[in-house]
């Protein structure tokens, strides 16, 4: 039995029903199916493409990072906004929900370890994981699951990390411990220990939200970054070129979104609101461009905090981002 893991209560997946027979009128809540990772008889998905949600109910990293708590409630808020999304994909696409990992009563490392094992199992079962955070500490657990899965199957896999974020999240952790601001330094060290290259690109960086030391560390580790102001003007072609250069030699892409990358008018419900954050439409265009590489293996979106949200705006933005990921990848597979 997986510790601190619970199967999703499917009553949360409810919404409008336009038709019970016309698939073109269906919404996500009518097709999503439960998945129990404690079921030893689970079989590998044998279709072309299946997505599986798993929530990470954690504020531990945000608390250690002295941020605003509330992201542990993010997974259910995002599911609520996803429920009424239209099924803009073929009937044979699989849409599943594997429930949640709770950090209650655990250390951050323990909770991330459990999430890692769940992500690895989903990949083994041929599902595309979509992890619903939780604080952005979600990333280290998620990445460890992807890392473990690939490391068992390939010789020195070249894994690219594409992060949409106002922050580098590469702060030191040896003295004060890991948090929601240290994950990418932890990933760097994990890769170094295993003689793997560290391939990290972050888009949406705010100069006002990162110290000089963090910029220096980014340069030392050859982190690729794009400032928010370089994206905000809407001229994305130079960014596309940089993405091409970054992704061309990569085998796999792990993509993560911290909701504080968005402008606070679009995402008020986050740990660290950004008044000069990005328009979600621009971020969606960049996400689509990364997905076009055909290399994305897993995805998460983090730091949706219902406690500070207004009219579910932040959760709604997260749901549209996930809708984009699902429909874009479905279109690539079924075209």
Predicted confidence at residue 175, as pLDDT, reads 87
pLDDT tens sequence across 22-67: 999 999 999 999 999 999 999 999 999 999 999 999 999 999 999 9
**What is the C-alpha to C-alpha distance for residues 14 and 18, in angstroms, rounded to an integer?**
13
Confidence band (pLDDT; 50, 70, 90) for 332? confident
Q: Quote the tokens at residue 73.
A: 């409630």
Q: Of 315, 250, 286, which Cα lies nearest the Cα of 70?
A: 315
pLDDT tens sequence across 254-288: 999 999 999 999 999 999 999 999 999 999 999 99
pLDDT tens sequence across 200-216: 999 999 999 999 999 99
**What is the C-alpha to C-alpha distance for residues 82 and 320, in angstroms, rounded to an integer?**
8
- E-strand spans in the chain? 5-6, 33-34, 50-57, 94-102, 128-133, 159-164, 199-205, 224-227, 252-258, 296-302
Predicted confidence at residue 333, as pLDDT, reads 76
Mean pLDDT (whole number) for 230-255 = 97
**What is the C-alpha to C-alpha distance for residues 204 and 280, in angstroms, rounded to an integer?**
11
- pLDDT exceeds 80 at position 334: no
CA angle 136, 139, 144 (to 5 degrees): 155
Q: Which residue has the tokens 């409008």?
A: 16
Contact residues for 103 (Cβ-Cβ < 8 A; gap 6+): 4, 56, 57, 58, 59, 60, 72, 111, 134
Predicted confidence at residue 186, as pLDDT, reads 98
**What is the C-alpha to C-alpha distance for residues 112 and 95, in angstroms, rounded to an integer?**
24
Q: Could you tell me the domains of the chain?
A: 5-334 (3.40.800.10)
Number of Cβ atoms within 10 Å of the Cβ of 262? 28
Cα–Cα distances in Å, from 273 out to 68, 113, 166, 202, 261? 10, 28, 10, 18, 9
Query: What's the Rg (C-alpha) of the chain?
Result: 19
Confidence band (pLDDT; 50, 70, 90) for 335? low
């Amino acid at each position: 039995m997986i510790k601190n893991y619970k199967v999703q209560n499917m009553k949360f997946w409810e919404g409008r029903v336009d038709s019970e027979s016309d698939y073109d009128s269906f919404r996500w809540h009518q097709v999503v199916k439960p998945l129990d990772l404690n079921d030893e008889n689970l079989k590998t998905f044998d279709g072309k493409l299946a997505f599986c949600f798993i929530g990470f109910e954690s504020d531990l990293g945000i608390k250690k990072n002295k941020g605003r708590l509330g992201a542990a409630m993010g997974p259910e808020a995002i599911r609520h906004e996803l429920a009424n999304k239209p099924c803009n994909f073929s009937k044979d696409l699989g849409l599943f929900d594997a429930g949640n990992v709770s950090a209650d009563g655990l250390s951050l490392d323990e909770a991330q370890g459990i999430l890692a094992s769940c992500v690895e199992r989903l990949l083994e079962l041929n599902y595309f994981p979509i992890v619903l955070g939780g604080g952005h500490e979600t990333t280290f657990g998620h990445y460890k699951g992807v890392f473990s899965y690939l490391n068992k199957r390939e010789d020195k896999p070249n894994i690219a990390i594409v992060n949409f974020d106002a922050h580098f999240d590469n702060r030191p952790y040896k003295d004060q411990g890991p948090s929601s601001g240290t994950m990418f330094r932890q990933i760097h060290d994990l890769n170094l220990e295993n003689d793997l290259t560290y391939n990290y690109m972050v888009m949406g960086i705010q100069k006002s939200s990162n110290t000089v030391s963090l910029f220096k560390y980014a340069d030392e580790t050859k982190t690729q970054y794009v400032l928010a102001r370089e994206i905000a003007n809407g001229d994305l072609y130079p960014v596309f070129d940089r993405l091409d250069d970054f992704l061309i030699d990569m085998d796999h892409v792990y993509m993560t979104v911290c909701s504080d990358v968005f402008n606070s008018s679009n995402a008020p419900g986050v740990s660290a609101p950004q008044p000069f954050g990005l328009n979600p439409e621009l971020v969606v265009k960049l996400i689509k461009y990364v997905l076009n590489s055909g290399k994305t293996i897993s995805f998460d979106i983090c730091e949706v905090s219902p406690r500070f949200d207004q009219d579910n705006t932040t959760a709604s933005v997260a749901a549209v981002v996930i809708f984009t990921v699902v429909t874009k990848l479905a279109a690539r597979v079924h075209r």
